[in-house]
Structure 1
Amino acid sequence: MKKTIIAIVGPTAVGKTKLSIEIAKQFNGEIISGDSMQVYRGMDIGTAKIKEHEKQGIPHYLIDSLDPHESFSVADFQSSVNDHIEEITSRNKLPIIVGGSGLYIQAALFDYNFADEKRDPTITKKFESIIAKQGIKPLYEQLKRVDPEEASKIHPNNHRRVVRALEIVETTGKTKSQLQEEQNQSSPYNVILIGLEMDRQLLYERINLRIDQMVADGLVEEVRTLYKQGLQNAQSMKAIGYKEFIPFFKGEQELEHCIDILKRNSRRYAKRQYTWFKNKMDITWYTVEPNTINEKFGIILRDLAGILKDK
């Protein structure tokens, strides 16, 4: 029989973490982080990592597993999640995946086959040679022409992802987006997908307030520590919440401007998260409001009780 898994998805700051704790307490669950950045140690504030007292004794996985200089791919995440699901279910516990990294969660739940994206070192070296001579701009412009959807997801200075996306097109004749669409949409698990959404303006206000609180809690100092360690070009530092402060440390921008850019980028990311989840997966959505979120969580818990009873 297929193992049952609950996945809680939705945009940043909508209340996923709080809901995951309530579900875990009621249904004997343990939580796997579905956030691609919470895996890094020392990146706590900017990733909105759950605090120890907030866990309420619930075991959490894929949090603080790597150092910030290490890489962590979608394939790595998929493999780790599968291992944790096996281990959690072996103890008759319910695995709960919670997060907003859409491709990561989709890959883990729907058995994405990474073998379809074969590497070609010759092509990689060709692109890297172009970067060395001309910079990244020509390749990013090329990516915008051949795969505009993927280009919209990648920062122009992220050499690794730009090269990878172009390499996929050249080796397969298809864009990364097309390959993902062709993947088998069946899952090796019984997946219960719960989505949280909120009025867009309310969500944006929550995002702005959350960032103000992050700054008050020491976000700038957290990023400064990583920057002083020489990690500004690490994969982990490309994340929203970290990359925005690099110009400040270089003396190129004022701090307030960097904070405003972070708020803008976070709002845009939330919009992209909505689009991804709405288009890619069959999710049961619940609209929440800050003042009535506990009542809505009660409805979700009752709905889940009925669904799990039938599994």
Structure 2
Amino acid sequence: MKKNVVTIVGPTAVGKTKLSIELAMRFNGEIINGDSMQVYKGFDIGTAKVRPAEMQEIPHHLIDIKEPEQEFSAADFKAYVQKYINEISARGKLPIIVGGSGLYIQSALYDYHFSNIKRDHDLTMKMEEIVASQGIMPLYNQLVQIDPEQAEKIHPNNHRRVIRALEIYESTGKTMTEYQKTQSMESPYNPILLGLEMERALLYKRINERVDQMMAAGLLEEVRELYGKGLQDCQPMKAIGYKEFIPYFKKEQTLEETIDLLKRNSRRYAKRQFTWFKNKMDVTWYSLTPDTADEKFGVIFEDLAGILK
């Protein structure tokens, strides 16, 4: 029989962490982080990393396993998640993946193969030289022409993914979009996908409030310390919650402008997450509000109990 794997998805700030812990407590589960940035040490507040006090002694995996300078790819994520699923299931417990990195989660749950497309380091180096001398936009505009669907998914600031998409096209003659569409949607597991959604105005209000809470919790100090260590060019510093502060430290914008930008980027990211999960994965969605979350969680518990019989 295939192993059951529960996955909780949805936009940022919707309540995935709280649900994951309650599910783990009720169904004897262990949690696997599904956020691509929470693997990095020191990137805590801006990634909304679960705090030890919130964990309720539930084991959490795939958190703080990488140094900031280390790369971490969807293929790496897939390998780690499969390892943890096997170990958790062998203990007679339920693996629960929680997070918002859509492609990473899809790649781990389904039969994605990444090793077929080897890296072309010479080509990558040439494109990195272009970025260093001319900025990312010449390459990003090239991607828009070659693969507009993929360009829509990738923010220009994510240099690594822009370069990788172009590298795949140059190496294979196929766009990243074409390559992804050939991937199998068969899963080696029994994936149970639960999605949390919230009316947009409520969600955006919640996102704005969470940014304020992050600032009160010391986000500025966290990013300042990382920036002071010379980490501004590392992969996690390009994530939302961190990249917005770089112009502030360079005295190119005010703190107020920085916070407004962070809120805007977080709202836009939430919209992209929601659209991605709606279009790409077979998710059972539960709509909630801050006031009805506990009631809706009860419905989810009942539904999941029926599935796991």
Deviation at 1:195, TM superposition (A): 0.5
1:124-180 per-residue CA deviation (whole Å, 9 max, x = no partner) reads 244334445544322121111111222233333433222211111112222212211
Partner of 1:46: 46
Deviation at 1:111, TM superposition (A): 2.3
Opposite residue 46 of structure 2, the aligned amino acid is: G
Aligned residues: 309
Take 2:134 and 2:262, find their aligned partners in 1: how far apart are those partners? 29
* 8 Å contact kept, 1:10–1:99: yes
Partner of 1:173: 173
Partner of 1:40: helix, strand, or coil?
A: coil
Cα RMSD, aligned residues only: 1.3
Partner of 1:286: 286
Change (3 A) 1:185 1:134: same
* 8 Å contact kept, 1:71–1:236: no
Partner of 1:76: helix, strand, or coil?
A: helix
* 8 Å contact kept, 1:71–1:235: yes
Partner of 2:80: 80
Partner of 1:171: helix, strand, or coil?
A: helix
1:245-304 per-residue CA deviation (whole Å, 9 max, x = no partner) reads 000001110001011000000000000001110111111100011101101000100110
Does residue 270 of the first structure (1) align with residue 270 of the second (2)?
yes
1:183-233 per-residue CA deviation (whole Å, 9 max, x = no partner) reads 100100011110010001100000000001100111000000000000000
Take 2:55 and 2:276, find their aligned partners in 1: how far apart are those partners? 28
Segment of structure 1 superposing worse, 52-61 or 151-160: 151-160
Partner of 1:144: 144
Partner of 1:13: 13
Q: Which runs of 5+ in 2 are unaligned?
A: none
1:28-79 per-residue CA deviation (whole Å, 9 max, x = no partner) reads 0000000111111111110111111111010000111112121111111100
Change (3 A) 1:158 1:193: closer
Partner of 2:30: 30
List structure 1 runs of 4+ shifted beyond 6 angstroms.
none
Does residue 204 of the first structure (1) align with residue 204 of the second (2)?
yes
Identical-pair percentage: 68
Partner of 1:195: helix, strand, or coil?
A: strand
Opposite residue 147 of structure 1, the aligned amino acid is: D
Change (3 A) 1:169 1:18: same
- Under a length normalisation based on structure 2, what TM-score does the superposition of the two structures give? 0.97
Change (3 A) 1:14 1:127: same
- Under a length normalisation based on structure 1, what TM-score does the superposition of the two structures give? 0.96
Deviation at 1:17, TM superposition (A): 0.6
* 8 Å contact kept, 1:195–1:286: yes
Partner of 2:193: helix, strand, or coil?
A: strand
Segment of structure 1 superposing worse, 52-61 or 112-121: 112-121
Does residue 100 of the first structure (1) align with residue 85 of the second (2)?
no
Take 2:158 and 2:16, find their aligned partners in 1: how far apart are those partners? 28
Take 1:296 and 1:129, find their aligned partners in 2: how far apart are those partners? 51
